């Protein structure tokens, strides 16, 4: 092609999938940093020097897009897509309007939401799982349901975190990327559910594009990956809210128990 088009010395760069590229954009090159992607789906991604698989809990383990490096990731199939689904259903003009109503309301949700609108991968690997609102009553309003959606996705990330790292490994810095990183409200909920600080860095919402550009630079210049795939400047650090953290510590077991109680019903429904 280069000869036919009259191009000279065309470098060919190895590319990456969206999550691996996003990780390069966020500086996730070793186990000291984890990326949390709030896109259509949700992903926790960490680089590793070794291949460490956990297929029983639907944890992915693949070659990273950097030499001699592996990566592990937990995947929840519906994250920001839950908000895109919920906003018109609840009568909001768009997702920003939903978020504004939830923030203005300010009340913690007393409704649980299972965000399994497309089934779930990590940790259940259950294609038959469905989305669920649980605990509706006469006082439940659109803002309460909107907050339940935000919290349900955060609970799903807690499941994803626990199987990715287990009890003996810490995630290090958690860098938030993806379109959902624009919501400070969601960041506070996530930090409080996970009981972890979340770091927001420049260009977080375009991390995969930045990562792809960095891979092209590496192919052209031959620089050391560690010198190019650095973390962008931090723009914010979100810490857990003490009151929310205590409340979510009680809510997470209920969230998990709800899926366990409905698992067989999901499967029977899929078979009928």
Report the distance separating Cα 262 and Cα 218, nearest Å.
48
Spatial contact of 136 and 130, defined as CB atoms under 8 Å apart: no
Spatial contact of 218 and 13, defined as CB atoms under 8 Å apart: yes
Report the distance separating Cα 83 and Cα 99, nearest Å.
9
What is the torsional sign of CA 63, 77, 24, 154? negative
Spatial contact of 154 and 189, defined as CB atoms under 8 Å apart: yes
- What's the half-sphere exposure (Cβ side, CA atoms, 13 Å) at 133? 18
Angle, CA of 61, 188 and 132, to the nearest 5°: 70
Rounded to the nearest 10 degrees, what angle do helices 18-26 and 207-221 cross at? 80
Of 18, 48, 110, 195, the catalytic one is 18
Tokens of 40: 């259509």
Residue 18 among the catalytic residues: yes
Spatial contact of 58 and 121, defined as CB atoms under 8 Å apart: yes
Nearest to 38 by CA among 115, 110, 91: 115
**Residues belonging to the active site:** 18
């Amino acid at each position: 092609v280069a000869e036919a088009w009259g191009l000279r010395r065309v470098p060919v760069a190895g590319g990456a999938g969206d999550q691996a590229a996003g990780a390069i954009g966020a500086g996730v090159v070793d186990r000291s940093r984890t990326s949390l992607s709030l896109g259509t789906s949700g992903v926790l991604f960490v680089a590793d020097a070794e291949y460490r698989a956990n297929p029983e809990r639907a944890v992915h383990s693949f070659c990273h897009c950097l030499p001699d490096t592996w990566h592990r990731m937990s995947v929840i199939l519906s994250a920001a897509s839950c908000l895109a689904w919920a906003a018109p259903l609840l009568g909001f003009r768009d997702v920003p309007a939903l978020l504004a109503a939830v923030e203005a309301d300010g009340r913690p949700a007393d409704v649980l939401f299972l965000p399994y609108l497309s089934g779930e991968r990590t940790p259940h690997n259950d294609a038959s799982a469905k989305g669920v609102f649980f605990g509706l009553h006469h006082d439940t309003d659109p803002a309460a349901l909107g907050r339940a959606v935000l919290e349900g996705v955060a609970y799903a990330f807690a499941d994803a975190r626990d199987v990715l790292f287990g009890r003996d490994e810490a995630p290090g810095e958690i860098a938030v990327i993806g379109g959902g990183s624009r919501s400070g409200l969601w960041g506070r909920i996530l930090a409080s559910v996970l009981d972890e600080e979340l770091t927001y860095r420049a260009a977080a919402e375009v991390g995969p594009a930045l990562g792809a550009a960095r891979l092209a630079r590496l192919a052209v210049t031959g620089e050391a990956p560690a010198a190019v795939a650095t973390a962008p400047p931090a723009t914010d650090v979100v810490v857990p809210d003490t009151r929310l953290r205590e409340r979510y510590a009680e809510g997470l077991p209920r969230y998990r128990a709800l899926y366990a109680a409905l698992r067989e019903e999901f499967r029977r429904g899929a078979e009928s």
